[in-house]
Structure 1
């Protein structure tokens, strides 16, 4: 009797409409948000390395391709905007679910990707399954989402704890040419006046290992902070020889700290990280660590690292806002 009454009043039908159609909206939104996230990262990567490819039409096409891959039916609408030449202005926040979850950065380049419902027939409304049976004039809704990704030089990042003198970056990092060079252990008694962004790098260079590396030979650093160093060519705890061999074989860029000042000496020395650069390791000659691969050291040095600075995006994320030493990171910001 109760069931018949509910059926007769349309309550069960209304509940079915609510459960099924609202569920479809959640699924649609999840797919669109995933597509917006992926598209924003990919477009930001393109803009970071090729500004000419950041124009609105190529960016929109790239965003739609990534958004569509995340949709069950393979189709989604996507628009790209941002404070970049060739991109349109982003819409003002509306206080609704269509906004990015955080405010836009006050400075620095970023892109927003706004995704929305699109059917294979070109319509932009998600049709109801049951709701139209209850509400005759309800034809469906358009679901929209937003994702924002920024890029720039890192102010904080997880790096290989291999710190290079700013003198070396001034000499070789301003116009990276991919030529392999040898970097000896840094001599603390030498001049420490080099600084990224200024001077010609006429002072001596070299490297030192920062201590307290985590497993996998990585260390979180922040520009402007001081870090203790290991003496000589001994690798820090957390850096296995196999980790270093893998880096030399891979030939891919990694983030490394650049130091511009030294305080103390020997086991009490601390190096000030003045920036983060992108570096490709090609070989090691570290007798104190028992690892000797790659080319011989230059001159009379017996311990050295071989490789070259480069300009590129390095995966891993971090905090944007450091000096431009060639490394770029891409990170979601809304």
Structure 2
């Protein structure tokens, strides 16, 4: 009988302990569940902001865009990454060569109201820059003459109000052309030798290996003479670039001859390589020129490069190519 009396006195003890622990349990739930949910929402807002910044920068780098267009793109991508807590609001702030995206949303808490906190405003920001390439490493050690591009590819120069050339016009749809070595092109762009410089086809001296030729605008790049690609290059190097869009230097002035020749780099153009014939094994199955001609064929296009090591500036030479880079908002 004594044992039964003790059991009777213990009756209800669990309910008391549950009542005592309920508040800390709810606090723990608020910390573990509500804060985790808010963190997940912020991650989705960040994904939407990053995607929008890159998308707006890519669009603005190749075609004119407005604040309204940028806001629409940002809102669309914010909604594609909509947080679970509530509908997002996006805003894009445009500047020259720069866009900053702000995404925001409200998260209604499930357990935090016991602490007097019903909801929270969540936000994320991202930015991207774009501009025309001003220097970097080209994978193919070759430079076009802007004069040859105007004559052979039908790409006229862009001139400013003072008449100075500031770029090359690239149609929105791109232009596919076969560009012959200047000696065979009879374009009127060359000197008495038939080449831009005697013995020069447009090959540059690679900085390191065949796929790394570093140049900068307004600087002089040394020439590698002859019809064949430079020493250190192989047919495999060129075949792997077929079908790829690459940034290639364009020069406006050349001087010297042979190994002493130099090209002054004017800017960079986006070129999707399709076929070529230079000499010996440097030929694609579809040979784009005949006989003693040397040539390459591809498409000159408007192109936003998001995986490039090229430096860029919104005031660089305009040749259809642009470089887009995801940035931190405070970097502006």
TM-score normalized with structure 1 length: 0.68
RMSD: 3.7
2:128 pairs with 1:140: no
| Partner residue, 2:76 | 65
Q: 1:194-253 deviations in whole A, cap 9, x for unaligned? A: xxxxxxxxx7895214413557x35454323444443324435775534533544x2x64
**Cα distance change, pair 276–116 in 1 and its aligned pair in 2 (3 A):** same
Residue among 117, 126, 129 paired with 2:110: 129
Looking at structure 1, the residues matched to 48 and 58 of structure 2 have their Cα atoms a distance apart, in angstroms, of 15
**Cα distance change, pair 42–142 in 1 and its aligned pair in 2 (3 A):** same
Looking at structure 1, the residues matched to 223 and 70 of structure 2 have their Cα atoms a distance apart, in angstroms, of 44
| Partner residue, 1:163 | 143
**Cα distance change, pair 237–75 in 1 and its aligned pair in 2 (3 A):** farther
Looking at structure 2, the residues matched to 170 and 256 of structure 1 have their Cα atoms a distance apart, in angstroms, of 16
The residue correspondences of 1:12-51 to structure 2 (distance < 5 A) are 13-51=26-64
Kept after mapping to 2: 8 A contact 1:258/1:275: yes
Q: 1:114-172 deviations in whole A, cap 9, x for unaligned? A: 1112xxxxxxx111232212x22x22111111212222211134433321123224544
Kept after mapping to 2: 8 A contact 1:168/1:206: no
Looking at structure 2, the residues matched to 293 and 229 of structure 1 have their Cα atoms a distance apart, in angstroms, of 28
Answer with 268-277 or 206-215: which moved more.
206-215
**Cα distance change, pair 132–309 in 1 and its aligned pair in 2 (3 A):** same
**Cα distance change, pair 173–6 in 1 and its aligned pair in 2 (3 A):** farther
**Cα distance change, pair 324–301 in 1 and its aligned pair in 2 (3 A):** farther
Kept after mapping to 2: 8 A contact 1:282/1:306: yes
How far is 1:39 from its partner?
A: 1.0
How far is 1:112 from its partner?
A: 2.0
**Cα distance change, pair 42–10 in 1 and its aligned pair in 2 (3 A):** same
Unaligned ranges ≥5, structure 2: 1-16, 157-168, 185-189
Greater fraction of residues in strand: 2
Residue among 168, 173, 195 paired with 2:155: 173
How far is 1:76 from its partner?
A: 3.0
| Partner residue, 1:79 | 91
Kept after mapping to 1: 8 A contact 2:201/2:225: no
Unaligned ranges ≥5, structure 1: 84-107, 118-124, 192-202
Kept after mapping to 2: 8 A contact 1:278/1:314: no
TM-score normalized with structure 2 length: 0.69
Looking at structure 2, the residues matched to 256 and 130 of structure 1 have their Cα atoms a distance apart, in angstroms, of 59
Residue among 111, 120, 132 paired with 2:99: 111
Kept after mapping to 2: 8 A contact 1:212/1:237: no
Query: Is the partner of 1:323 in helix, strand or coil?
Result: coil
| Partner residue, 2:265 | 273
Kept after mapping to 1: 8 A contact 2:204/2:213: no
Looking at structure 2, the residues matched to 16 and 181 of structure 1 have their Cα atoms a distance apart, in angstroms, of 68
**Cα distance change, pair 268–206 in 1 and its aligned pair in 2 (3 A):** closer
Kept after mapping to 2: 8 A contact 1:212/1:238: no
